[in-house]
Chains A and B, each alone.
Chain A
């Protein structure tokens, strides 16, 4: 397989397969959660499920003071790499073109070299959380293969993307091909690992907040 054939394959059939698995996987996971349903609460409502649910979706994004004191590093490094991922995925013009093809909508991107710098910061933050996970005895004990796999498939597209952008080591076609392939690996595993929190977090927070809201207490 030549460089060009490889790039064409990852942009064509491989992307189609990955997209199919990811989208179908997300729909399946949503259906699983929604069809399971919740037990009917027979108690009289003392507040609004809707208000509690929406409030919690937003409030859980902000750390409370106690949690911050206990897990400051995790919160800071976690926010850095999450914001970094958002910038790199959604604000790099070549990526926006993919979303435009998929959803038909486009938006303004950031200058490419700012995204380049953000990629480096995100990679450093992800390496830091890995070191923290390995060094912290409790975290290490709680971690399983799936946690390390999720970390690997998240950092791989960042590394290959940075290499492709700066054309380090291999030819342009090979580097872009490897980058797209690493993204496809992420897409395939996305619904079936803890990475699915990217879409399940809304439901999870909603349920927590709605239960508390129904009882009229703070979530």
Chain B
């Protein structure tokens, strides 16, 4: 496969039929909620597009994001995408290691300056000079800045690279930060999730290749995939509307598949495509499996109170507050009441009695 081939040329060379390709374009359009009229546009654009070089950097992460995107590889459609980008550097997936691997990264940067896509998963530790995660003797921050300097755009895959994620959770011992905390002069597309949905990761890449930088929300996420809350697209939403809730994980409501709000579901505050796109080839997603949404595609989800307390409830010990408030109120009330009572008694004492004789005197 030559480096400067178009995607169409690669597909023809690999014997992938036009029909399969159009099916892929149709599912991509559907994924992005685009009308059928856009399918030919996607097909035409993708066919003519050059295979972009991609550098994938992994920092403080658990490899869950890579696990996720490799799941999309088992689908023929996603396989197309994997073969039409040139994934030139990826710790987990690359065959080479050591100096040779680093040499490839440097070479890709040199050969494709200003044209390659940089994908990052994992947060970047900046505390103590970034000693908590180093690769080939360089801190994550150094590698990121060096690689980002010549990238066309950056895709931050996973909540760790998008918002700091679990490494940033309190007390954040490594001083973990997100990509956008360090890089300010490049377009950054955040694809959060712990991990993100495989089809969403590939969908964002297709969207980027087809239409350029996607439209982003306030948190830098593509609106096509993160435009709606889990709650609004949840198949259990009608139970919320009817006031039917599971009270525990094993009661009648849970068995009947009622709304999981009382069990701490973060669906109303979480924006992602889980409820529509689902996981494992559209099989299920956490809420369908009977567990509340954790809100993993939102910043600071790990520190946003218990996963199992409802969104409307206070996070602190309000019983104690109530006791202190009542005690404080009784003390203050007694003091204020005492002062008022004393004033009243003083007023009564100071009151001059007026008799009929006094009135006569005045007249």
Contacts and interface: CB of A to CB of B under 8 A. Distances in A.
B281 interface: no
B326 A24 contact: yes
Contacts, number: 149
Contacts of B298: 3-4, 173
B333 interface: yes
Interface string B232-262: 1000000011110100000000000000011
A137 interface: no
Interface in A171-188: 171-173, 176, 180
Interface residues of B, number: 48
Contacts of A25: 329
A113 B245 CA distance: 14
A93 B258 CA distance: 14
Nearest to A102: B318
A78 interface: no
A171 B221 CA distance: 13
Interface stretch (A32-40, A50-58, A209-217): A32-40
Interface residue tally on A, bucketed by range: 35 or more
Given A36-B340, A111-B242, A171-B269, A101 B325 contact: no
B321 A172 contact: no
B89 interface: no
A4 B300 contact: yes
B229 interface: yes
Contact of B314 (A101, A109, A176): A101
A23 B326 contact: yes
How would you classify the secondary structure of chain A's contact residues: helix, strand, loop or mixed? helix
Contact of A28 (B229, B241, B332): B332
Contact of A167 (B232, B318, B321, B326): B232
Nearest to A114: B243
Contacts of A11: 305, 313-315
Interface string B297-321: 0111101110000111111101101
A31 B269 CA distance: 42
A28 B336 contact: yes
A29 B304 CA distance: 36
Contact of B315 (A8, A28, A113): A8
A4 B301 contact: yes
